[in-house]
């Protein structure tokens, strides 16, 4: 069964990191699709949350970074967003989101696409909408039905990626990026399309964040061991220093984790002065040195982040902040890996 995030802390932290989430409601009417299709067709821009051919929230740049951000259209990012559909009390509302649901799509764009996919927008960002599994699919006892739900979601992602390869990529280097449920599917996508496949030669790196990465899941693909390595993957799950949730204890260390401040797999402490900056609820504000990081077993430990209002921030599960806490470090690291990839490609 897929790794599941702790539910109650997850719901609490959503309100802290994405506190502007109710603002998405004012955009709902603009997401009503004419001539909707039950199954997404990725030749229509409506079925992409992010695409270079239309403005979308992933194009947003925090104000302090404007004027110092350049766009490299020779590299692509294929981003898989986390769950934005579900109920904390019941999974009876449906196992999968409808692809044309205007509220789900508005919520997706003005939470994860704005706050997470934008970290990758120095390059061309493609983020498909998909019939995502209900959040409760991670918690139900009906594992067979849950697996069907994840399979349906993945079928859309696979179709989107194939359409992207056939019509948009045109031989460009590829970065795979994802969070939470997106990473559940990204792991599978990497295995099917990149593991021991010719396409691996185009893989700059994969940022599969917020989910367990079992150490025997891949044979050919390996975790990145420094900040410039390419053709590899990084991933981490963030918790308060000293806290290991029960479901992690059951894993017995069976997950790769890369420290987003050092970009190594070493269990060495990385002080907060290595943190260039996080981006939280105030998108146009950057918080330098917001927190530190160190690998503990198969998770990432960090001390309580410091930001206005953090006195009320009591949860020990920082799942939703996996990307936000290290936002600028991710942007900087992307540049390093792309430069290293291009250098190797040119034979220099």
pLDDT digits (tens, 9 = 90+) for 92-132: 468 999 999 999 999 999 999 999 999 999 999 999 999 99
pTM of the model: 0.93
The confidence score (pLDDT) of residue 87 equals 63
The confidence score (pLDDT) of residue 11 equals 41
The confidence score (pLDDT) of residue 9 equals 42
C-alpha distances (whole Å) from 192 to each of 95, 102, 189, 345 are 24, 31, 5, 24
Whole-number Å distance between alpha carbons of 5 and 319: 7
> CB count, 10 Å around CB of 191?
16
The confidence score (pLDDT) of residue 4 equals 62
Helix then strand count (H, E) for the chain reads 7, 9
The confidence score (pLDDT) of residue 5 equals 57
Measured between its terminal Cα atoms, the distance across the chain in Å is 44
What does the pLDDT profile of the chain (348 residues) look like in tens digits? Answer: 446 655 434 443 444 454 444 678 888 888 888 888 899 999 999 999 999 999 999 999 999 999 888 899 999 999 999 999 986 544 446 899 999 999 999 999 999 999 999 999 999 999 999 999 999 999 999 999 999 999 999 999 999 999 999 999 999 999 999 999 999 999 999 999 999 999 999 999 999 999 999 999 999 999 999 999 999 999 999 999 999 999 999 998 899 999 999 999 999 999 999 999 999 989 999 999 999 999 999 999 999 998 887 777 789 999 999 999 999 999 999 999 999 999 999 876
Pull the structure tokens for residue 129. 């909408």
The confidence score (pLDDT) of residue 283 equals 95
Phi, psi for residue 295 in degrees, rounded to 5: -80, 130
Whole-number Å distance between alpha carbons of 348 and 336: 15
Which residues neighbour 174 within 8 Å (Cβ) at sequence distance 6 or greater?
Answer: 75, 76, 77, 78, 199, 202, 203, 204
Chain length of the chain: 348
The confidence score (pLDDT) of residue 14 equals 46
Whole-number Å distance between alpha carbons of 290 and 279: 9
Secondary structure percentages of the chain, helix, strand, coil, to 5: 40, 15, 45
The confidence score (pLDDT) of residue 24 equals 81
> CB count, 10 Å around CB of 303?
13
> What distance separates the 2 farthest-apart alpha carbons in the chain?
57
The confidence score (pLDDT) of residue 67 equals 87
C-alpha count within 13 angstroms, C-beta hemisphere, residue 198: 1
């Amino acid at each position: 069964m897929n790794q599941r995030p702790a539910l109650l802390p997850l719901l609490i932290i959503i309100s802290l990191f994405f506190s502007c989430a109710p603002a998405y409601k004012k955009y709902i009417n603009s997401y009503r699709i004419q001539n909707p299709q039950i199954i997404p067709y990725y030749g229509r821009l409506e079925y992409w949350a992010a695409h270079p051919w239309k403005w979308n929230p992933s194009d947003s740049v925090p104000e302090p970074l404007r004027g110092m951000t350049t766009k490299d259209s020779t590299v692509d990012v294929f981003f898989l967003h986390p769950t934005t559909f579900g109920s904390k009390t019941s999974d009876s509302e449906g196992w999968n989101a409808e692809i044309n649901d205007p509220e789900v799509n508005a919520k997706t764009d003005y939470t994860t696409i704005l706050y997470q996919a934008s970290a990758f927008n120095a390059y061309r960002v493609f983020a498909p909408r998909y019939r995502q599994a209900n959040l409760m699919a991670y918690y139900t006892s009906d594992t067979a039905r849950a697996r069907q739900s994840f399979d349906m979601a993945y079928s859309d992602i696979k179709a989107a990626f194939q359409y992207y390869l056939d019509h948009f990529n045109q031989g460009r280097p590829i970065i795979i990026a994802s969070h939470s449920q997106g990473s559940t599917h990204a792991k599978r996508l990497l295995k099917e399309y990149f593991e021991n496949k010719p396409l691996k030669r185009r893989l700059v790196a994969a940022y599969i964040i917020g989910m367990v990465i079992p150490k025997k899941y891949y044979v050919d693909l390996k975790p990145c061991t420094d900040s410039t390595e390419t053709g590899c993957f990084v991933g981490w799950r963030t918790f308060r220093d000293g806290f290991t949730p029960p479901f992690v204890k059951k894993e017995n260390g069976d997950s790769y984790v890369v420290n987003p401040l050092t970009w190594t797999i070493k269990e060495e402490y990385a002080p907060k002065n290595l943190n260039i900056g996080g981006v939280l609820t105030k998108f146009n504000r950057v918080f330098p040195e917001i927190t530190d990081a160190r690998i503990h077993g198969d998770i990432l430990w960090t001390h309580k982040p410091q930001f206005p209002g953090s006195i009320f921030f009591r949860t020990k599960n920082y799942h939703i902040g996996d990307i936000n806490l290290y936002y600028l470090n991710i942007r900087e690291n992307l540049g390093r890996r792309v430069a290293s990839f291009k250098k190797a490609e040119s034979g220099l």
